[in-house]
Amino acid sequence: MTSALTPFQSNHFDTTPQSVHIELGARSYDIRIGHGIWADPQTWQGLPKAAMALIVTNDTVGPLYEAQLRDAIQSHYPRVETVVLPDGEAHKDWQHLQLIFDALLTHHADRKTVLFALGGGVVGDMAGFAAATYMRGVPFVQVPTTLLAQVDSSVGGKTGVNHPAGKNMIGAFYQPSRVICDLSVFETLPDREYAAGLAEVLKYGPIADVAFLDWLEANVLGLQQRDPGVLVQAVRRSCEIKAWVVAQDEREGGLRAILNFGHTFGHAIEAGMGYGEWLHGEGVAAGMVMASELSVRLGLLPAEQAARFKSLLQSVGLPVIGPRLPTSGDTQQAQVYLDLMRVDKKAEAGEIRFVVWRDQQVAGVQTASDELVADVIHACLSH
């Protein structure tokens, strides 16, 4: 039985730090959200104790924030080491995962060593997977520095790396000890990355909370301008919805699949274009337009609601038309998409499962005929 989601309440003038709890029994943890919270000693209280901490970051985020994070945790850990990965989805692979293991072994990390994932979703996924598997599990803390990571990938315990044949095909469910979302880092976040993060914020409306979607639409100017009060509320509500889902379905046996709204199409875009050509949030945005169109054609959603959502995505700078994927010979675009979606880990026995938007209800998962999906893809592509 699915418990009810707490109704959305917001005061976008309130910029005080917020906390969201994910209830998973012994694996429960808090998400701390606010501006400048790295500087607050309470942010770091109660974390696992260890002789060493390892900061995992990348060559874009490291020069900006590694020293600041090091200063924040130095008093808690006698030794703090750092490993720097190359930036980008193209490097989210087994080869670069080994750099984390190399650092752990070189610095003689033990079972209590705490990893701090400082970066976006790629860093968080890779550091989390390293933590899940090094000595069969060591603690880690998510310190996400992108909007997308704060509202999605850092929360819920999904970790992993990509394979050339599919995104996130190698990984594990492994929960962090804490997620620390300091919104001050958005000051250095490029516009394109920020917009990509908004895709995951906007996703939460269609899947679970139309009132939140209405609020986002009403506050779109604040979102565009990175208004501190609007962002605190948007990140908090996004994390509340994800916490509600994860608490009921940690390992994606049912309800958690709704978090993949637009992702089946979006992952095909990412893989088909080559990882890094389209940002994850960009692929999800175009994918959500396709998923909305599929929902309309299945009779689950009014066409005007899908059009309204598409307009909202476009207003925050996100792509709403899917790309034509590279192909050989005379293969039809819809077939290229379908072939890639069948490799997606959400497919079962080669049958593609889509998250569909059900008007005024929590989203659902169902299949659709190849012919219908092909029509949707064709309607939503650039021509």
Q: What positions carry a catalytic annotation?
A: 136, 158, 200, 242, 252, 256, 260, 263, 267, 280
Contact 253, 263 (CB under 8 A): no
Q: Which residues of 335-369 are buried (b: 16+ CB within 10 A; e: fewer)?
A: ebbbebbebbebeeeeebbbbbbbeeeebbbeebe
Strand locations in the chain (E): 18-22, 29-34, 52-58, 79-85, 114-119, 140-144, 158-163, 166-173, 178-182, 354-356, 364-366
- Quote the radius of gyration of the chain (alpha carbons, Å): 20
Angle in degrees, CA 214, 234, 251, rounded to 5: 100
Residue 101 in tokens: 């293991």
What gap in Å lies between CA 220 and CA 211, rounded to an integer?
14
Q: Is 265 helix (H, G, I), strand (E, B) or coil?
A: helix
What gap in Å lies between CA 204 and CA 66, rounded to an integer?
31
Residue 118 in tokens: 């400082």
Q: Which amino acid, 243? A: A
What gap in Å lies between CA 273 and CA 267, rounded to an integer?
10
What gap in Å lies between CA 262 and CA 346, rounded to an integer?
12
Distances (CA, A) of 43 to 13, 34, 143: 22, 10, 11
What gap in Å lies between CA 156 and CA 243, rounded to an integer?
7
Kindly give the interhelix angle for 303-315 and 280-297, rounded to the nearest 10 degrees: 170
Nearest Cα neighbor of 268 from 314, 313, 320, 325 is: 325
Residue 315's H or E segment, with its range, is helix 303-315
